[in-house]
Chains A and B, each alone.
Chain A
Amino acid sequence: MYGMVNKAIQDLVTIKFGEDKWVAVKRKAGVEIDSFISNDSYPDSLTYGLIGAATEVLGLSSDEILFAFGEFWVLHTAKLGYGDLLSSAGRNLGEFLDYLPSFHVRVALIFPNLKPPRFENSDRLPEQITMHYFSHRPGLSMMVLGLFSGLAKMYDTPATTTQTKFKDKGDDHDEFVVRWGNAMKV
């Protein structure tokens, strides 16, 4: 994965739990890198190692960590470097989710080694959309839920996300239905 992901984990742990905890997470994961470079590629095992160590050091489940990471990614990391683009990716939550598949295709062009996930959307209703998440990396659906939650917060739009397909339960991909506004009452 690109360094920006590891950097985001570092920032999440440091900002929310303190520098000491980050040092402990790094030590636990056997990572000796002081500063991650956003546009450098690092082994996936390093990222998984950091998340695993964080669960032990912080006493949180991996689901909690991944969800927190998803939210943090949108609200902090992406904003930090790509805020101007992120805030222009849609005038509202619905428009952003409409555009998300194209956004990821463009990201893949910029980061040739990224192997980014692929998003598709379907069943668009005025305040509801179905998002399909395809990734070769296992166990990250909680992070996607965190991402949607972060986006809802970014647009100040209360929303609910329900996972309707599970790759780790045999489905060919993960599927989420995002509802906001009146659709949430359904």
Chain B
Amino acid sequence: MTSTSTIIDHEQFRKLFPFMFVLDQSMKVLEIGSALARIVVEMVPGSMLTDHFKLYRVGQNGLDAEFLQRQTASLIVFQAIKSNLFLRMQVLLVKNPDRYVFVGSPWLRAAAELKDIGIVLPDFALHDSTVDTLQLQQNTNVSLREAKELNITLERRVADRTSELSLANAELSRVMQSKDDFLSAMSHELRTPLNAILGLSESLCEGVYGGLTDKQSKSINTIAESGHHLLSLINDLLDIAKIGAGKMDLDWTNSNLEDLCKSSMRFISGLASKKKISISLFTDPIASTIHADQRRLKQILVNLLSNAVKFTEAGGHISLQTRSNPERNAIEISVTDNGIGISNSDIERLFRPFTQLDSKLSRQYAGTGLGLSLVLQLAELHGGSVEVKSELGKGSCFTVSLPWSESKSHFPQPAPGYKNLDISTDRVAAKGPLILLVDDNEINLSTVGDYLRAQDFCVILARNGLEAIQVVRERKPQLVLMDIQLPVMDGIDAISILRADPTLKSLPILALTSRAMVGDRERCIEAGANDYLTKPVQLKQLTHVILSHLNHLKIK
């Protein structure tokens, strides 16, 4: 075996280990590598190692020959006394005479330490991987720095985009508010003349203004029908807008489902009998009670039944059926007809707003195409769904599934009080109660006033909120019908002022307004109104409500 000394000479050895040093047994420095000598200038041959370095090892302070002889298989780390230099070294024991040869290189944790210690890259032996490690580390630092920069850029972009979205949202909210305001205004503007049209038609039909010929009666009926059609259209549009804006709150109550079905059927019975269409009702006695918004559920049923009548030929048949489905915890209400039916391809777009399956149908069967969209949206608001089965030429079946629990199925007893009164037989009007009618629209004053007078009420008038307060204090009416949108002082303020007067605490005040947007009812009730009715109101219904409040007052 050839010895190393025969391959490399001493100078070559020194070149391979520029940080080497040699000690004798007394730990005196005999020789120093070129790079180390440049960095630790005081470390010259003849000086003691302990003047320049100490051991970097826990529990070992002394440095002597005995200790070094035990370290030939261990890594030894020295820490410079006057600088931050650390040397990671390996010791070789050379015999005769005993010499300790240390080889290794500086231990660096970051490239920045190079400058601190005073080392340059050419100081390292070419084979030393310390330089590669430092380069690799710098490279990783570059990647980290870029990742941070990219993150900052990304965060800035997200912030910018969020800011843009916030602006867009604000704009959207503004537009939505404008839409609500527009709908509110339109609702009021459309309902006010309709109130006159429907009210006067009703008064004329009931002979309030004298008897009518058959032709006149027929014409008035046509006016009334058209008015009601227009009203349902406005109501549908407002409902869809409310649902779209997430502002439709349901009034959840337990209702008798059979009564609700019958009531809905009565609504379309006139149309059905005109077309000689028979209607049957099948109810499931188990599903007698449903927890839902009674008014909205009736709206669903009336819409489906109206459609069935509309698209069923004369002499056809319609059935309304309720079924409990305990497995799905649902009540299913089906409206089935043997009408014209719907093709499979058309069913998909059936529930889109303003969809009528073709223009020909649209002309043949009047409608806005809002009804089914509303049915679906109302069913979904209840947590339910709508399913359609249909075959062209054979008929259709629309099934509304609504959440239901058999265990919760009970029908509450009517609360004591005026709800129990048979208002149709209790004619308080015969005694001529004094009613104050407040409205700034002369047609409304005349229409409603004339009708109520014909029902034996005494009617006095006011045309703004301030005047209404004065009249109430002077004439002491038994009930006030208060319009809301009024000049000088609006109805809300007038109601609040009246309510603040302890002597008028029990005076029934009914808000009668064309304002039918979300929150209008609450605003009126909060101000102190006992009830809230929207125009156009059926005058017969208005009479009933007036009577019920007067009866309630009497009981109290």
Contact = CB atoms under 8 A, between A and B. Distances in A.
A109 interface: yes
19 contacts: A35-B146, A35-B153, A37-B143, A37-B146, A38-B143, A38-B146, A81-B138, A81-B139, A81-B141, A82-B142, A84-B114, A84-B115, A88-B114, A88-B120, A95-B122, A103-B121, A106-B135, A109-B132, A110-B136
Contacts of A109: 132
B234 interface: no
A122 interface: no
A42 interface: no
A88 to B, nearest CB: 4
Nearest to A92: B120
B167 interface: no
B150 A38 contact: no
Interface in A162-186: none
Nearest to A82: B138
The A interface, classified by DSSP as helix, strand, loop or mixed, is helix
A89 B142 contact: no
A14 interface: no
Contacts of A88: 111, 114-115, 119-121
Contact of B142 (A81, A91, A95, A99): A81
B107 to A, nearest CB: 16
Contacts of B145: 81
A102 B126 contact: yes
Contacts of A95: 120, 122
Contact of A39 (B119, B122, B143): B143
A116 to B, nearest CB: 13
B122 A106 contact: no
Nearest to B113: A84
A172 to B, nearest CB: 26
A110 B140 CA distance: 10
Contacts of B366: none
A23 B501 CA distance: 74
Interface in A72-108: 81-82, 84-85, 87-91, 95, 98-99, 102-103, 106-107
A106 B139 contact: no
Interface size class on chain A is: 20 to 34
B120 A106 contact: no
Contact of A89 (B112, B121, B150): B121
A31 B428 CA distance: 87
Given A88-B114, A88-B115, A89-B120, A35 B135 contact: no
Nearest to B122: A99
Contacts of A87: 115
A170 to B, nearest CB: 33
A35 B150 contact: yes
Given A84-B112, A84-B114, A110-B132, A90 B121 contact: yes
Contact of A84 (B111, B126, B139, B146): B111
A98 to B, nearest CB: 7
Given A37-B146, A87-B115, A110 B122 contact: no
A39 to B, nearest CB: 5
Contact of A110 (B115, B135, B146): B135
B545 interface: no
Interface string A104-123: 00110110000000000000
A35 B133 CA distance: 27
A178 to B, nearest CB: 17
B63 interface: no
B132 A38 contact: no
B131 interface: yes
Contacts of B146: 35, 37-38
B520 to A, nearest CB: 52
Nearest to B114: A88
Interface in A3-50: 4, 35, 37-39
**Which 5 pairs of residues, A with B, have the shortest CB-CB distance?**
A84-B111, A81-B142, A88-B114, A99-B122, A84-B112
Given A81-B141, A85-B111, A109-B132, 12 more contacts: A35-B153, A81-B138, A82-B135, A82-B142, A84-B111, A88-B111, A89-B121, A89-B122, A90-B120, A91-B120, A106-B132, A107-B135
Contacts of B500: none
B129 to A, nearest CB: 10
A120 to B, nearest CB: 14
Contacts of B141: 81
A88 B138 CA distance: 13
